[in-house]
Amino acid sequence: MEDAEILRRRILHSFVSNVALNHGFVKTEAFALETLAEMFIAFISQLSIQTKLFAELQNRTEPTFHDLASALIEIGIDVLSLYKFYKNLNNEKYQKIAEPAYASIQKRPAILHVIKPRPHQNYVFDHFPPFPDPHTYIQTECPSKSEREYQKTRELIAEQKLNIEKSLVKFRLKNQLIKFSAKQLSIFNEDSKDTAYMLIRNENENSDQVSPLITGLFSN
């Protein structure tokens, strides 16, 4: 038995138990409760069939209250007694079934339309949803010229090489300004911080290991 059927049976048993409790019964057997539930289902089914037949007899597709009243009279139910029962529903004597808890339905955020959607064509039915905004499904290709050309590649390589050389020169001058003064590196022998007129000095770094290596080489 599926979960929906189990839930439906549980609600039906709860309803039948409340009706029996309101009529003075304290407890009931499971077999008797199931029998009362089947009788209630048969009664509702017969009432629905009779109501539908009375509606079709009057050439209607949907039943009305008069069709339901005629079906109750046909089955043998006093319609006036239902009004008395309805007035006594708020009495504490009758047990009420708590309403099931419903999950909160999140409201969808409103869609901001840029322009008015396009209307449907003549062959499209009106009950179909409207078209979305044109910018969501209409694509316009913007072709661009490929940059993988020989001339463009040579220009990029030359520009990259020039930038690397400038960066190395600036890095070397920055390191030499720590050892030498700006006047010693300047072309015009001026004490200026402008590196555009400076030369990189040729430094001969004498390592302490050179002399022992030469001595050991010639001693052999």
First to last CA, the chain: 103
118 vs 4: CA distance, rounded Å:
43
- Categorise residue 80: left if φ over 0, alpha if ψ from -120 to 50, beta otherwise: alpha
12, 40 contact by CB (below 8 A): yes
* Arithmetic mean of pLDDT, 63-79: 89
- How buried is residue 42: exposed, middle or buried, by Cβ count under 10 Å (0-12/13-18/19+)? exposed
- Report which of residues 20 and 92 the model is more confident about: 20
Helix H or strand E encompassing 36: helix 30-57
* Arithmetic mean of pLDDT, 82-102: 68
| Cβ neighbours of 185 (radius 10 Å) | 19
Residue 183 has pLDDT above 70, yes or no: no
* Arithmetic mean of pLDDT, 180-204: 65
Residue spans of the domains in the chain: they are 3-87, 150-204
Taking only the tens place, the pLDDT of each residue in 20-50 is 887 788 888 888 888 988 998 999 999 999 9
Question: What local confidence, expressed as pLDDT, does residue 10 receive?
Answer: 85
Question: What local confidence, expressed as pLDDT, does residue 46 receive?
Answer: 92
Exposure string of 89-105, with b = 16+ CB inside 10 Å and e = fewer, is eeeeeeeeeeeeeeeee
Residue 52 has pLDDT above 90, yes or no: yes
Per the DSSP assignment, residues forming a β-bridge with 198 are 186
* Arithmetic mean of pLDDT, 142-165: 82
Share of the chain above pLDDT 90, in %: 11
- Residue 209 — pLDDT band, cuts 50, 70, 90? low
7 vs 156: CA distance, rounded Å:
74
On whether the 3-87 domain is CATH 1.10.20.10, my answer is yes
145: helix, strand or coil: coil
Going by C-alpha positions, the residue among 172, 168, 173, 170 that lies closest to residue 186 is: 173
